[in-house]
Chain A
Amino acid sequence: MKAGRTERDRVYVEKRQIEGYRKMAGIGTARRRKAVGADAPPFRDLKDVFLMAACLGVRARQRTPLRDKQELTRTSYFEKETDLAVLRAIAIAETQGVQVLEDEDAIFTIAEEYANTGYAELESRVLGAGRPLVSLTDLLLGEYADESAGDS
């Protein structure tokens, strides 16, 4: 009658993006981790970079299927009430139904494909900048301004 719940324990991104994800989360060198103030890395965790990329992809309204994927992180690191709730909302809006809530694999696949699109913007606007945190803040302020402009 109903399909069993599918689960997911890993999140994937394109293999070539892994290093960029790590840099933005301040993983890799001691210097990146120790930086403070405006010099600090813009994100604390890999899953935060992923969520940002996914939401930027949703804003761009484009899903890009993964071609050469590699594991980024575990789904267990995502917070249920915030991170997962946002991903579920994206999946409901995408499928226009609630059945997708039974299919964790589909929820993460949709998110991965949006993140694949959104990553390009992070890469060009944030990763290459001298102070990535400052650039990300500028990026977000611009997006928020567009959002309220769209509302009005």
Chain B
Amino acid sequence: MKLESITLTNFRQFYGDQTLKLARDPTKNVTVISGVNGAGKTTLLAALNWCLYQENASAAGELVNKRALTETPVGFSVEAKVQVVFSHEGERYTVVRAQRANRISDSEWNREQPSFSVSRIRADGQFETVHNPAGAIESILPSSVSAYFFFDGEKIDKFARPGHEDEVRSAVKQVLKIEVLERARNHLAAVAREYRQELGSHASGELNELLQREAQLRDKLGTNKSDLETLRSERAAAERQLKDIDGRLAELTAVRELVAKRGQLQGDLTAREADRDRLWDDVRGIVHKGFIPLACKAMEQAGAILDEKRRRGEIPPGIREQFLQDLLTRGRCICGRPIGEDSKERRALLTLLAAAVPSELENVVLRTAGDLRALDSLCRRLPLELRDAMRKKVAIDDDIERLEQELDDLSRKLADFDQEDVGTLERKRRDLCDALVRLAGEIGRAETLISELHTQLEAVEADISKAQVRAQHAKRVWRRFTLASKAASALDKICDAFAADMRQQIREEAKKIFDTLIWKSSQFRDISISDDYHLEVLDRWGFPARPELSAGERQVLSLAFICGMSKVTGEEAPLVMDTPFARLSTQHRENIATQVPRITKQLVLLVTDEELHSRARDNLAARIGAEYELVFDQSTGCTSVRFVR
């Protein structure tokens, strides 16, 4: 940044337009602005800060020049404005901040919010308005950094005062943009912490447990399936043996009749059992609609409500809503008579329409009424059907019981038969029948168990695939966590190394500058900036000498530090110093006047007439590119800028 001009318009004691063009020539880079105490030097510095950063100006009272305020007639307005023109990296910026005051009575002014605009002429000559003006200024010279370039010389010794470490630390970090690195490091560390927490929420070993459970279930399933196979082959064997025995019994002439009878009874039993199954299917069909009779009372009540509506003529309505609406839209009756806009016929139609049931509701009501009538018969029929089915079931059960009894009797007869092999065969047969009943139960239980195992297995498999997704996610999170932690710790090291390097460079530059500025340079051997940003001067014997420095020497040390910093950072910003020499002895003034213009690219000095005289002025003379005097007119109470050379 190189300042070109500052124009103050009715800003505080500066009346009308007052412009200062600042020296920019590399060999004549100093602008001297002199004025007695109270002429407006500090106001000029404040104007610069207000224009660029809206800082500090309103705290000092009225912004708009009081003479301009009083000269403005009621109903008119006046503006306090500061315009700063500067160049930066080949582009020319015009920054304007203004506050308008509207006079609403003799003694009252209404002040608007300050306006702020930045425009620039780009290197290619193109003019443009900057849409984010505050952001643009911040990126050129951040407000936190500007304090180290635009400053009040009398207060500058803060870097060398006791307890200065925080000032030095924040100056180094802000000016050298170390904060950017630190922010990146802190951000990465925070990200790493978040990933760490996320990893904590992924229960480790979850997938392994599930896989173990799956394996156990599969083992169990395998065992049960092979058990089932064994049971089924046992059953098949028993059935074969039974068939074999039946065959052998059938061949025995003595019991042929009994065996035939058994065949017949068994056929009857099977048929009745099938009847029973069919009956239960029918029952299921009835039960399926069995809820309808349960709602019988509710349906009766609903039916009564619908009947009542019908009785009162609401449903179906005497005249349908749609018909009424059609008549109103057409404006003509079906008999051909017109229905006038404000006729009594029209009013009558509107009354009917208001009482009409919406046609959609009407349809649902009619449909429901019809449905309920149809359901009414089901209400009565279904309980009868169910009771009838139960009566049939009792009959079938009786038949089955009787047939089983007869078969049992027949079996006992055969078992007790005189002929020995018949008895043996029949007893064996009964054992087989018992075994078949037992096997049927066991097979049923095994099938149920297998089916349940399948269900459990499906659930575990679903859990496994979810856990696998989670595990993959955890793996990704772990990689990100590692990356963020490593990056944060790398940045941490970079930060430290960079800061140490910068401290060293600033120290070296500040030392060189300090040597040229301080008159008793042989008294001081070195400057140091410790790890904790402690700025120290070592005397010729190597002892810390900072506490012994005079106020003027502290100011010189601070200036050396600022200039050193400015040099190291390469930040191209002008030094604007307000009353820098007030506390300094002649020798220091002369040294600063000689050295600082060489160190900085552009220097603006706001000085009192006494501050800069004799040798100091002579030393500076060759570098002065512009000189102004702030002239305070006691008769008007206003300051004007006088161009000196």
Binds A, one of B202-210, B414-422, B448-456, B483-491: B448-456
Q: A89-B302, A137-B283, A144-B386 are in contact. Are A101 and B361 (CB under 8 A)?
A: yes
Q: How far is the CB of A82 from chain B (nearest CB, A)?
A: 7
Does B288 touch A at the CB level, under 8 Å?
yes
Instruction: Find out whether the CB atom of A90 lies under 8 angstroms from the CB atom of B287.
Output: no
Does B107 touch A at the CB level, under 8 Å?
no
Q: How far is the CB of A93 from chain B (nearest CB, A)?
A: 4
Instruction: Find out whether the CB atom of B306 lies under 8 angstroms from the CB atom of A136.
Output: no
Q: How far is the CB of A3 from chain B (nearest CB, A)?
A: 10
Instruction: Find out whether the CB atom of B289 lies under 8 angstroms from the CB atom of A29.
Output: no
Q: How far is the CB of B314 from chain A (nearest CB, A)?
A: 9
Q: How far is the CB of A40 from chain B (nearest CB, A)?
A: 6
A5 to B296, CA, bound (A): 27
Q: A29-B455, A40-B281, A148-B383 are in contact. Are A85 and B375 (CB under 8 A)?
A: yes
A51 to B283, CA, bound (A): 17
Residues of chain B lying within 8 A (CB to CB) of residue A101: 361, 364-365, 368
Residues of chain B lying within 8 A (CB to CB) of residue A36: 277, 280-281
Does A129 touch B at the CB level, under 8 Å?
no
Write the residues of chain A forming the contact surface with B, with a CB cutoff of 8 angstroms: 2, 5, 28-31, 36-38, 40, 42-44, 48, 51-52, 54-56, 58-59, 80-82, 84-86, 88-90, 92-94, 96-99, 101-102, 133, 136-137, 140-141, 143-144, 147-148
Residues of chain A lying within 8 A (CB to CB) of residue B448: 29, 31
Q: What are 12 inter-chain pairs, A to B, with CB distance below 8 A? A: A29-B454, A37-B276, A40-B280, A85-B375, A86-B292, A86-B375, A92-B305, A93-B305, A101-B365, A133-B280, A141-B387, A148-B383
Instruction: Find out whether the CB atom of A89 lies under 8 angstroms from the CB atom of B291.
Output: no
Residues of chain A lying within 8 A (CB to CB) of residue B294: 52, 55-56, 58-59, 140, 143, 147
Q: Which of A30, A42, A44, A143 contacts B451 (CB 8 A)?
A: A30
Interface of B is mostly: helix
Does B293 touch A at the CB level, under 8 Å?
yes
Using a CB-CB cutoff of 8 Å, which residues 283-304 of chain B contact chain A? 283-284, 287-299, 301-303
A144 to B386, CA, bound (A): 10
Instruction: Find out whether the CB atom of A98 lies under 8 angstroms from the CB atom of B277.
Output: no
B289, closest chain A residue (CB): A82
Instruction: Find out whether the CB atom of A98 lies under 8 angstroms from the CB atom of B306.
Output: yes
Does B340 touch A at the CB level, under 8 Å?
no
A52 to B452, CA, bound (A): 27
Does B390 touch A at the CB level, under 8 Å?
yes
A43 to B299, CA, bound (A): 23
Residues of chain A lying within 8 A (CB to CB) of residue B532: none
Does B60 touch A at the CB level, under 8 Å?
no
Write the residues of chain B forming the contact surface with A, with a CB cutoff of 8 angstroms: 276-277, 280-281, 283-284, 287-299, 301-303, 305-306, 309, 315, 358, 360-361, 364-365, 368, 371-372, 374-375, 378, 383, 386-387, 390, 447-448, 451-452, 454-455
Interface of A is mostly: helix
A48 to B285, CA, bound (A): 11
B299, closest chain A residue (CB): A89
A99 to B358, CA, bound (A): 10
Instruction: Find out whether the CB atom of B361 lies under 8 angstroms from the CB atom of A137.
Output: no
A30 to B450, CA, bound (A): 11
Residues of chain A lying within 8 A (CB to CB) of residue B451: 29-31
Q: Which 5 A-B pairs have the closest CB atoms?
A: A85-B371, A37-B277, A55-B294, A89-B302, A92-B302
A142 to B143, CA, bound (A): 89
Instruction: Find out whether the CB atom of B306 lies under 8 angstroms from the CB atom of A137.
Output: no
Instruction: Find out whether the CB atom of B287 lies under 8 angstroms from the CB atom of A89.
Output: no
Q: Which of A2, A54, A84, A98 contacts B305 (CB 8 A)?
A: A98
Instruction: Find out whether the CB atom of B309 lies under 8 angstroms from the CB atom of A86.
Output: no
A99 to B303, CA, bound (A): 14
B305, closest chain A residue (CB): A92
Residues of chain A lying within 8 A (CB to CB) of residue B452: 29
Instruction: Find out whether the CB atom of A42 lies under 8 angstroms from the CB atom of B372.
Output: no
